[in-house]
Chains A and B, each alone.
Chain A
Amino acid sequence: MKNKSENTRRSFLAKGLAAAFLASACNTKSNPFQPEDSVEPSGEKVRLLSVDGEIIEVDKAFLKPVPELPKISNESERIGIPDKKLVMVIDLSRCKNLKKCQEACNHMHHVHPGQSWIKVYGMKDADHTAPYWQPTTCMHCDEPPCVKVCPVDATFKRQDGAVLIDSDRCIGCRFCMAACPYSTRVFNWEEPLIPLEIAKQEYHCETSVPQKKGTVGKCDFCPDMVRQGELPHCVSACPNGVFFFGDMYEDSVTNGAETFRFTELIRDKAGYRLMEDLGTKPSVYYLPPVNRNFPYETGLKNEPDPTEASNHH
């Protein structure tokens, strides 16, 4: 199993070198190494510096524009987006364990296979209470226990409320994982399985890409999307509109289709936060699973082992 993945990586490398001049860091879903046969050579050549430092000539028609890269410095990534206080509301009455949020998140952040930043729990609080599905992201606490314990400031809290990770600085001590009561952090135990072109990119705290071996990773609230005026991947991926995202200062949250006043929504629907008693002050709020759109059981389809889901407390 391990051998196989190494092999594919090696052949990846070979292909990657061959196509290095084309491998402008891009985010397209199609295979970037496949020469597009629809492109007609224009005859006009351009000189380029390859990643190996060689000067090479390429037909202009083969060049693709480099998609927008975050050009924010590490310093400003550590400060955050000015005049915003990011907040999320998760409506438990709408969740049916579709895990589209998880899929989108893992895909967009190139999370190592098997691991997930978003987890969807099948919860059952007590013997006679009803079970429900509970997606969790990072809580982006205002009193983040993980930030308190990090010895090198690799995990930090920003002005806009996001708790981010600098994977270029993390020493991999995993104290933050022990400290997080929500078990939200995952660790890159091995070289994460990432397409070469992504792995080559420079790491940015706001995109959390690429994940690096020996460092921690977790949900980042997608501040890169926020900067572009878009919603985090989980929010836009959920067909049931479970996730609302917004800005506390504007007092509004939206799932793309509906927009609410944050304070009203939380007041009217009796919103709450997880483990309030710990004093971590999460930025993620939950709306209780009442008047549910789907019965709990519909979500069991998506369970690898349906018996397991309702077993815990």
Chain B
Amino acid sequence: MNITSNIKREKIVQELSPKTFSKIGVYWVIALSIVCLIGLFAYIRQLNKGLVVTNMGDYVSWGIYISNFVFFVAISLVGSLITAIFRLANIEWSKPLTRIAEIIAVSAIFLASLIIIVDMGRPERLLNLALHPRLQSPIMWDVVVIGTYLIISVLLLYFPMIPDLKLLSKANTAVRRTWPQGIYKFLSSFWTGSSEQRKNNGHSITILSILIIPVAFCIHTVTSWLFATTYRPGWDSTNFGAYFVSGAFLVGAGGVVIAMYVIRRAYQLEHYITEAHFDRMGKAVVLLCFLYLYFNINEYLVPAFKMKKPEEAHLTQLFAGSFAPMFWFAVIVGMLVPILILINKWGRSPGWAFAASIMVVIGAWFKRYLIVTPTLLHPLLPMRDVPERFKHYFPSWEEWAIAMGSLAGAMLIITLFVRFFPIIPIQETITGHDEEEEKLI
């Protein structure tokens, strides 16, 4: 290795090492922590009083917790898209994005597991799932695949990061000595960087990348089956698995663009996350928008053509009734406008792509709400002999606080990760540069 490349190397390490936050970063962390704490407070209230603090009832027995859960599971799918699918397809340009995608996946699936416990009437009986499991229940399938996905995702985050951790732990002049160094050391203590280790690590990553794809499809397909295995209008659909998976890829890709934009700005990573990345991710988002739109048309237009009696009330309420504003918001702001923006070259510039992706993600959150709640308001037998408040649903402040707290929690995990770990793979970038140089020579 010659001197110039050594200098370059130093520069890369320095630029990509985790940095302390600016003032905004600190405020951001404080704000997120406060939202989390409010959520925690609301949850303690719920633990004391029971689920009565929510506005759920015997008809709307699943509310914002479950739609939030679906949202988290959906967004976590992106880890497999970018890390695994792109990696296996040998797509080079996505390399700097893999870790962003993976940490989104890990934090989202972790929060999904938490939020599902929040929804339980008897969280202290969680172990019953292990003590008296019944394998024919889709919930059991969900527990199994989400657990598996969480583990694989953590490994897929960790394995490619080991060389980087080693790099950082070696009190490099470029890196200021901070407490995380102990963690870097611990996590990479066994890493010598021998060619055999590198080979093994590469193998493991490939195997995990292959494994995670079916598991990723499973987590969201099974989550869709929590609904599709029932008889209710709006859920009783064979389209649900594909509909959920496509929507999940969309919101996940949108999430990655948002994270890319923020991290790039905060850490001045313009050299590493380039305009070309936004251009390509923008194309991916637009493609996924079309795909999701296609499944939406299938999901709503076919039953609307027939207007079967049980579906009728449900669909009319979505298209023209009390849920219509939210429904059309999710369609227009969540899909159509992002398509119109991102389909243009100018629309895939960082700023526009960022804006479009925010629309995608917000639209997607409301979309999950629309999938869960309206259906429950249209049972097969009319609503009857229940307290009046059970006949409609709007989340209580505790529900909002917990849902927002969980969203803040996911963002907090991502933020802290970015603070203490290299968000762009350092070693891979260096190797990439070296290879490029070799090619030039």
Contacts and interface: CB of A to CB of B under 8 A. Distances in A.
Interface of A: 102, 114-116, 119-121, 136, 145, 148-154, 169-175, 177-179, 181-183, 185-191, 213-215, 274-275, 278, 312-313
A145 B386 CA distance: 22
Interface stretch (B129-137, B162-170, B253-261, B332-340): B129-137
Interface residues of B, number: 47
16 contacts: A151-B143, A152-B128, A171-B120, A171-B123, A171-B129, A172-B51, A172-B120, A172-B125, A173-B139, A178-B226, A179-B229, A179-B230, A188-B50, A189-B50, A214-B120, A215-B122
5 smallest CB-CB distances across A and B, nearest first, come from A172-B121, A214-B121, A190-B52, A151-B139, A151-B137
Contact of A278 (B231, B309, B383, B387): B231
Given A177-B58, A191-B50, A213-B50, A153 B387 contact: no
Interface of B: 49-52, 54, 56-59, 61-62, 119-123, 125-126, 128-129, 131-134, 136-140, 143, 226-227, 229-232, 309, 376, 379-387
B51 to A, nearest CB: 5
A145 B231 contact: yes
B380 A275 contact: yes
Contacts of B226: 175, 178
A275 B233 CA distance: 14
A154 to B, nearest CB: 8
Nearest to B141: A151
A119 B381 CA distance: 11
A149 B382 contact: no
A115 B120 contact: no
Contact of B379 (A152, A174, A183, A313): A183
B316 to A, nearest CB: 13
B138 A171 contact: no
A121 B382 contact: yes
A189 B383 CA distance: 18
Contact of A313 (B49, B138, B309): B309
A215 B380 CA distance: 23
Contact of B382 (A185, A215, A312): A312
A169 B128 contact: yes
A149 B229 contact: yes
Contact of B138 (A114, A136, A149, A181): A149
Contacts of B59: 183
B385 A102 contact: yes
Given A102-B385, A178-B232, A189-B50, A170 B121 contact: yes
A74 to B, nearest CB: 12
B330 to A, nearest CB: 22
Q: Which of A175, A191, A278 is most buried by chain B, counting CB atoms within 10 A of its CB?
A: A175
Contacts of A114: 386-387
B49 A170 contact: no
Contact of B49 (A121, A181, A190): A190
A307 B155 CA distance: 61
A189 B398 CA distance: 14
A173 B118 CA distance: 10
Nearest to A304: B388
A175 B137 contact: yes
A115 B50 contact: no
A189 B389 CA distance: 13
Contacts of B385: 102, 116, 119-120
Contacts of A313: 309, 382
Given A115-B386, A187-B58, 18 more contacts: A120-B385, A152-B131, A171-B125, A171-B126, A171-B128, A172-B120, A172-B121, A175-B226, A177-B61, A178-B376, A181-B230, A183-B381, A186-B58, A187-B61, A189-B50, A189-B51, A189-B57, A214-B50
A290 to B, nearest CB: 21
B121 A188 contact: yes
Nearest to B116: A173
A34 B51 CA distance: 34
Q: Which of A187, A213, A215, A278 has the most CB of B within 10 A?
A: A187
Contacts of A174: 61-62, 119, 121
Contacts of B386: 114-116, 186
A149 B137 contact: yes
A21 to B, nearest CB: 31
A169 B132 contact: yes
A36 to B, nearest CB: 36
A151 B134 contact: yes
Nearest to A99: B385
Contact of B133 (A121, A152, A186, A188): A152
Contacts of A115: 58, 386-387
Contacts of A151: 129, 133-134, 137, 139-140, 143
A150 B140 CA distance: 9
Contact of B121 (A150, A181, A182, A215): A215
A178 B61 contact: yes
Given A121-B382, A214-B51, A173 B120 contact: yes
Contact of B231 (A181, A185, A188): A181
A153 B121 CA distance: 16
A145 B230 CA distance: 8
A175 B126 CA distance: 15
B390 to A, nearest CB: 9
Contacts of A190: 49-52
Contacts of A214: 50-51, 120-122
A189 B384 contact: no
A148 B56 contact: no
A125 to B, nearest CB: 10
Most chain B CB within 10 A, of A171, A182, A275, is at A171
A189 B52 contact: yes
B332 to A, nearest CB: 29
A293 to B, nearest CB: 22
Nearest to B138: A149
Contacts of B58: 115, 177, 183, 185-187
A187 B121 contact: yes
B436 to A, nearest CB: 52
